[in-house]
Amino acid sequence: MSNAGPIEPAQLAEHTTEAAETAAAVSNTLTPDESCAALAPLTNLDDSSLYIHRELSQLQFNIRVLEQALDESTPLLERLKFLLIFSSNLDEFFEIRVAGLKKQITFAREQADADGLQPHQALARIAELVHEQVDRQYQILNNILLPQLAQQDIRFIRRRKWTSKIKAWVKAYFEEEIAPIITPIGLDPTHPFPLLVNKSLNFIVELEGIDAFGRDSGLAILPAPRLLPRIIQVPEEIGGPGVNYVFLSSMIHAHADDLFHGMSVKGCYQFRLTRNADLSVDAEDVEDLARALRGELYSRRFGDAVRLEVADTCPAHLVDFLLNQFGLSTAELYQVNGPVNLTRLFSVTGLESHPHLQFAPFTPAIPKALQNSENIFQAISKSDILLYHPFESFTPVIDLLRRAAKDPNVVAIKQTLYRAGANSEIVDALVDAARNGKEVTVVIELRARFDEESNLALAGRLQAAGAVVIYGVVGFKTHAKIVSILRRENGNFVRYAHLGTGNYHAGNARLYTDYSLLTADPDLCEDVSKLFSQLIGMGKTLRMKKLFHAPFTLRKTLLDLIAREASHAAEGLDARIIIKVNALTDARMIKALYKASQAGVKIDLIVRGMCCLRPGIAGVSHNIQVRSIIGQLLEHSRVFYFLNSPGDEQLLLSSADWMERNLDKRIETCFPIENKKMIARVKKELESYLDDNTHAWLLQSDGSYQHLQPVTDESANNAQAQLLEKLSIPLIDVS
């Protein structure tokens, strides 16, 4: 076994048996330094204490994002952006994760994961942790970031500091831009509490007096129109030098009296309600998925309440009134010292007037193989091309489809789309191809969370152009990132393919790290074509030569690759695993890694977000380290490295994270990189993440994370910065 090569699908069962036969020998092969692992056979790997609750782990990721706002080595506006990303992440966390836990309790379907924590227990811990971190967030904003921004002439002017000029300008703006479109809603028996849109900005107003109809309920609701900006820039001649803003909420507070003529406003307080935003369409129970989704998209705005954010100046009796209206407890209340809708501050983070407060721009590089090539098909046919976005450009992927759309020799194009964006060059190319008479088939995943509406629109565009649009497979989200192009060359059909770890979204390709493979490898291209046949038509699972795919062969392949490393360690051979994913929550995969650790395999996991594995436990995970990289770019690539044997390393790239949904309930791809130079290159890139000591966070066995810092005489290593310097082209200011 020490000379075993890449595992083929037909070998899977054989390797599983082999691994089982060698497991008994593990304890006899350990070195004295690994003596603690000798207790491994006595350890119950199903013990709930060996696993971290997934939602609590997700919160730890959000906390790491928030911590970036305190990193003084990061440009100031980027620090503000991290603080706002924390808010955006929390919104989705409540809309999906918390809502899901509450739903389990409501319908008496509480189910614990491997960690053993029941939903009601998890919710209690979540509430405690989030309250603490939200308080920190506003302290960081008010006490650190806003004062530092003011020093850079970027100010958010509070009402108490408005000059007479600003007051006059605000009054005019309110009368001209706000008052005509805002609609106060008085509360009385004929005006019940309004149905408020998810995450919308609203105000509860306490009134004194009797109106024209003799009503004196004393309360009104002011929904802020969504089309109004939440921050408004004050003209320089009014606000003074620099960039000055006032909050929409401050304008409404200042002039609430003008909206209730003849009555006295005792108080005006902003609040924001978060609702369950998870769509509940069951693809198996609907005849037309697109039509059903359109209906659900409306209901998403008005799902069950899960969180209430209120200004901390709001009196207790009004807070209690709101909680009662929404059926929420005090644990679900968040009283904040500042705007309740911080995500609306994102517009500030890209100020053109302050480029020095932002990350330096760069131009993704084009590989040499494509720089001087007039025909991208010829370049790919000579050799596979591996791209690492955004350090290297996503343009070749777009160019491949553009060229295919116009090339008279191209007969057919097939592609999956999960997220593509509203204005997609990829979709433009597919539309052109269909109009040019190519056979274009697109498997578009309508249920990509929060991209459903965009994907419905893209599907309509493609269908109008004559493309065949498929909505995937009932019960399985199509998450694979693949393109298949059929081209006639010298009287024969030749296939080309693109396989990626990320989405076909040009914007994300500038922010997310992902790998792309452009290939004409006959076996791999045939496998991609077979997968499309499975997705589009019907029939039994087709045998693949090189491609592994969920929900069929991927999990089994990964388990066998892990077992092979364990058996190598049991034989006294070197054994190594490096896994880079966005999330690791699947208990079976974690258990396999624990067993490999017990066998003596050195395991490095680079997990950006959720990780339910506990590293550093004697006799179980003492050979495992888990780190998370949080930096300028969002780490998104999925890479699986197995030492196997010297000179015969195995490297796989995948669209799949190691989560139950990815391995069992999604269509995912995993493909080998076989070129030795490419393997060495990707391994070196993985090792740069393992050497990072500035943006890396090391997971502790208790579930917390330790931020790594250079020790005395140790040089600082920033993996993303090094990759940007090596692979991309910095933009030079020639002004």
Nearest to 270 by CA among 221, 310, 326, 316: 310
CA distance 439 to 428: 15
Q: Which of 433, 430, 474, 478 is nearest to 451 (CA)?
A: 478
Contacts of 287 (CB under 8 A, 6+ apart): none
- CA angle, residues 445, 451, 455, in degrees to nearest 5: 50
In the residue annotation, 120 being an active-site residue is answered as: no
Tokens describing residue 347? 């517009």
- Residue 416 vs residues 356, 455, 528, 531, 544: alpha-carbon distances, Å: 39, 12, 11, 11, 18
Residue 16: how many other CB atoms lie within 10 Å = 15
Question: Is there a contact between 447 and 281 (Cβ–Cβ < 8 Å)?
Answer: yes
- Contact between 574 and 603 under an 8 Å Cβ cutoff? The reply is no
Bridge partners of 549? 669
Contact 728, 392 (CB under 8 A): yes
Alpha-carbon distance 344 to 81, whole Å? 11
CB 699 within 8 A of CB 610: no
Q: For tokens 């760069």, what's the residue?
A: 362
Rounded Cα gap, residues 464 and 84, in angstroms? 39
Write down the catalytic residue from 53, 253, 479, 695: 479
Burial class of residue 537, CB neighbours in 10 A (0-12, 13-18, 19+): exposed
CA distance 179 to 259: 7
Helices within 4-45 (DSSP H only): 12-23
* Coil vs helix vs strand at 550: strand
Contact 499, 414 (CB under 8 A): no
What are 172-177's contacts with CB under 8 Å, separation 24+? 173/232, 173/251, 174/251, 174/252, 174/254, 174/255, 174/258, 175/258, 177/228
Distance CA 186, CA 170 (A): 25
AA identity, residue 541: T
Provide the token pair at 343: 């995500």
Distance between CA atoms of 363 and 727, rounded to whole angstroms?
A: 10
Q: CA 611, 616, 618, 622 torsion: positive or negative?
A: positive
Report d(CA 654, CA 674) in Å as an integer. Answer: 14
Structure tokens given for 261: 């003529």
Residue 613, beta-bridge partner list:
51
In this structure, what DSSP letter does residue 43 have? -
Helix, strand, or coil here: 590? helix
Amino acid at 389: H
Nearest to 334 by CA among 317, 322, 346: 322
Query: In degrees to the nearest 10, what's the CA dihedral of 68, 70, 76, 81?
Result: 40
Distance CA 71, CA 694 (A): 10
**CB-count exposure of residue 625 (10 Å: 0-12, 13-18, 19+):** middle
Helices (H) and strands (E) in the chain, counts: 22, 29
Active site amino acids:
479
